[in-house]
Amino acid sequence: MNTNEFEISRPVLVGDTADIHLHRALSILRSEGVNPDVVMEFTAGRDAVLCGVAEAKALLNRVLPEHGREVFALPEGTHVSKGEVVLRVRAPYASFGLYETAICGTLASCSGWATAARECVDAAGTIPVACVGARYVHPSVAGLLDYSAVSGGKCATGSSVLGGRLAGHTPTGTMPHALVLLLGDTVRALAAFDKHMPPEVPRVALVDTMRDEVEESLEVAKSLRDKLRGVRLETPEERGGVTPDLVKELRARLDQAGYNHVEIHVGGDMTPELIKLFVASKAPVAGFAVSRYVAGAQPVPFSADVKEISGKNVARRGRIPGLAQNPRLARVA
């Protein structure tokens, strides 16, 4: 991961997103002329899949001095345990102390998304999972959501352009319901899609907008034939949602009509439990799309502790002075 791809915003760099007590502490220390070398360790508050390290490293690369610094970390996507140190920074306190809030928050949100995504991926087994949850988060973090789902959670892809750029993948997407409604017909919408989209974009039709899913699937398959890569089901809750039986029926109807090559992709409000249900029932799903389960994941708590000052072991009450032992840490800067 090229950390230069993460754009650290001005509010983060100037400390506008930091807790005010960190500003006050830094002001006091500067006034007192105190700026020792310290070691700060960032520790996971629960078992999780780690993510956000690359962005934290990008921030540290912007603020730490060129010399006299050391950064150790675990890789993105690592399973971490409660109490495990995932990031260690050695540098003059004034160079990075203000960014404790930003680093903890980055690790917390990204690891939460990555952990939820990995749960879905594990539930799906060999079936690829895409993250399409960008519409459920603030746009300023939509790209990071997709990055976390892919780089940490091992999703096959995400849906946002920025997420694709950060994770180095091609975003996934078929067509919105709005396109079908505006053109008035699913077959016409797919024909227009095929006419105007470059050939490398897979022809996957959304088939639950106007009529019965099976009916629309057969119509688009007849229209595009071998060029049709697949169909996507997003039947809303108002009509019972997508079920394994619907997927099985659609597969049988497509096969009977000679469209064995057409894949069936399932979207909607998928969860690990629902994915397991489809897998256990042997529903012929070619890919799952998850959204709210990942986007709405609980953040993973991270704490930051100064464990060494000018070579002397220290710790707040309740913590062990000195560096924690974690042979999995590797120097990254």
Residues 241-290: tens digit of each pLDDT: 899 999 999 999 999 999 999 999 999 889 999 999 999 999 999 999 99
- Please check whether the domain covering 115-295 is classified as CATH 3.20.20.70: yes
Residues 156-190: tens digit of each pLDDT: 999 999 999 999 999 998 899 999 999 999 999 99
Radius of gyration for the chain, computed over Cα atoms and rounded to the nearest angstrom = 24
Closest CA to 281 of 292, 299, 266: 266
Q: What is the mean pLDDT of the chain?
A: 95
Q: Among 3.90.1170.20, 3.40.980.10, 3.40.50.261, 3.40.47.10, name the CATH number for the domain at 3-111+298-331.
A: 3.90.1170.20
> In angstroms, rounded to a whole number, what is the distance separating the alpha carbons of residues 270 and 56?
30
What per-residue confidence (pLDDT) applies to 2?
46
> In angstroms, rounded to a whole number, what is the distance separating the alpha carbons of residues 202 and 171?
11
Confidence check: pLDDT of 4 > 70: no
Token pair 């060129």 is at which residue?
A: 66
With contact defined as beta carbons under 8 Å apart, do 282 and 259 qualify? no
Residues 184-236: tens digit of each pLDDT: 999 999 999 999 999 999 999 999 998 899 999 999 999 999 999 999 999 88
What per-residue confidence (pLDDT) applies to 142?
97
Residue 98 neighbours by CB under 8 Å, 6+ apart: 15, 18, 22, 23, 26
What per-residue confidence (pLDDT) applies to 100?
98
What percentage of the chain carries pLDDT values higher than 70?
A: 99
What percentage of the chain carries pLDDT values higher than 90?
A: 94
> In angstroms, rounded to a whole number, what is the distance separating the alpha carbons of residues 171 and 211?
28
Residues 63-73: tens digit of each pLDDT: 999 999 999 99
With contact defined as beta carbons under 8 Å apart, do 172 and 158 qualify? yes
Give mean pLDDT, residues 39-55: 98
Residue-range domain boundaries for the chain: 3-111+298-331, 115-295
